[in-house]
Structure 1
Amino acid sequence: MFDQITEQFQKSMKPMSELAAINVKATEQLMQQQTSLFTGMMNDGMTFAQGLSGQKDVAAVMEAQKSYAEGVQEKVVSAAKDAYAVITETQEKASEVLKGAFAEAKETASAVATKATAKASK
């Protein structure tokens, strides 16, 4: 009896542990992406600052600023697309887990109702 209860509890908690694993994986991916973005932005900023120190012409400074701004924009857009992809993938996986859990719960409830109906009619 105790084994059945333990098994049933573990079975009912399986979707939650799967969701937790999916969330951990997504969080790790997003953290890696953000770390990469931050590191890249810091490196680009340092390169930009070093490049500005050698410029004596206003036009060259403006061109360097334009180039730096375009690079920042490109990195941010790319990071946003990557984050969106991770979140979308995570949402799809979580949806699959929940659909499976609800289908299993429905089957279990149906089986219990059938057994209860059979006992009641005896």
Structure 2
Amino acid sequence: MKLSLGVYAPPSSPAAYNAYRFAQAVTESSNEIYKIFFYFDGVYNGNSLATPPSDEVNLPEAWAELANNHQVELCVCIAAGIRRGVLDADEATRNQKHCANLNDKFQIVGLGQLLDAAVKSDRFVTFG
């Protein structure tokens, strides 16, 4: 079964951690993840500058490792990202900001990718 996930909660939320654990379980099964779409406060999961306490899971790094190990596409909504200051290099330049902070395993995309994930997946599961 092909699944896509919508993550709408920040990394400090139990919903974001549950989404990550769910994604891990899917990759360890015979199912596959097509895309993970981060929207609303979920875009903070792509912030490479996040530095949680040492006794907590660093979800932005965990998502990046999941993407690297299982070729999972991590999509950050451009509008939600810009509004919350989560920018790749192109958006930082375009918006005249001094730095980019999007983890390089994530990509800035439009809402069309959310629709693509929903249409091309057998199930679309949301968290947050």
TM-score by length of 2: 0.21
Q: Which has the higher strand share?
A: 2
Which structure has the larger Rg over C-alpha atoms? 1
Higher relative contact order (CA 8 A, sep 6+): 1
TM-score by length of 1: 0.21
